[in-house]
Amino acid sequence: MAEENNPAAGDDTFISHLIELRSRLVKAAAVVLVVFLCMMPFAAHIFDVLAAPMLAALPTGSKMIATGVITPFLIPIKVTMMAAVLVSLPWVLYQVWAFVAPGLYTHEKRLIAPLVVSSSLLFVVGVAFCYFFVFGVVFPFINNFAPKSVSVAPDIDAYVDFVLTMFVAFGVTFEVPVIVVVLVRMGVVPLVKLKQIRPYVIVGAFVIAAVVTPPDIMSQLMLAVPLVLLYEIGLLIAPIFERVTRAPDSTEEPSSSVAD
């Protein structure tokens, strides 16, 4: 009632939240920038690591090409920035957590903390699965179809765009268990309903794989099969997670602060 009778108090609270949000964003961006600057001397090597799966699938001595004038300069920087964000991800997620945590109850913290950690780990696992396994199978499979009269020399700009798309696709795919758990825990979709729509999920997985991945059956299977399996894992974990994070009967007060 006090805030309803005093609009200025509500405005002050809103402004304080904006100031806190700005502070957290600046801290997150500053660390990403520092990591990026520290990694810049190794930009060429970082790109070579990213290009390794494709080069391994090409004939010995083959190289990638750059068709743009400044592409050899811009692409390694783009890849290094991507790597800096990935390395800084724990700190960025902590800033997100520090911003929202003061307004959460204890049982809500028990819900969010494991979800943030697990979603981060699963995304990294998805990217690693794509890099170490999928690329190692897909690139040789595709290049073996090239006619003898064709010399395969991928453009680095197109290659990086393709790799980023695949990384995001597999990273998000590995988030499926977290999505299932959240839907069940928040009461958006009952667990029984999610089990009933299994056939539609399987069809949808192959449709998504056909749209996102290259038009070969190997790539589609490597995305669709993990998606379906991870969906099943989410169905198994959801009821356990729901019991662990259930709100207590007693009244709780939101916590007041989180350390910087």
- 250 assigned to some structural domain: no
pLDDT digits 0-9 by tens, 134-175: 999 889 888 888 787 778 889 999 999 999 999 999 999 999
| Contacts (Cβ under 8 Å, ≥6 apart) of 47 | 75, 76, 79, 80, 156
Structure-model confidence comparison of residues 104 and 64, the more confident one:
64
- Residue 79, number of CB atoms within 10 A of its CB: 23
User: What's the domain count of the chain?
Assistant: 1
AA letter at 152 = V
Instruction: Say if residues 134 and 170 touch (Cβ distance below 8 Å).
Output: yes
- Token code pair at residue 152: 């395969």
- 147 assigned to some structural domain: yes
Picking from 133, 34, 14, 121, the residue whose alpha carbon sits closest to that of residue 22 is 14
CA distance 132 to 155: 21
Q: Which pLDDT band, with edges at 50, 70 and 90, does 1 fall under?
A: very low
- 108 assigned to some structural domain: yes
CA 104-105-106 angle, to 5 degrees, is 120
- 30 assigned to some structural domain: yes
- 253 assigned to some structural domain: no
| pTM of the predicted model over 0.85 | no
pLDDT digits 0-9 by tens, 208-217: 999 888 877 8
Instruction: Say if residues 244 and 187 touch (Cβ distance below 8 Å).
Output: no
AA letter at 72 = P
- 70 assigned to some structural domain: yes
Q: Domain range for residue 149?
A: 20-57+65-245
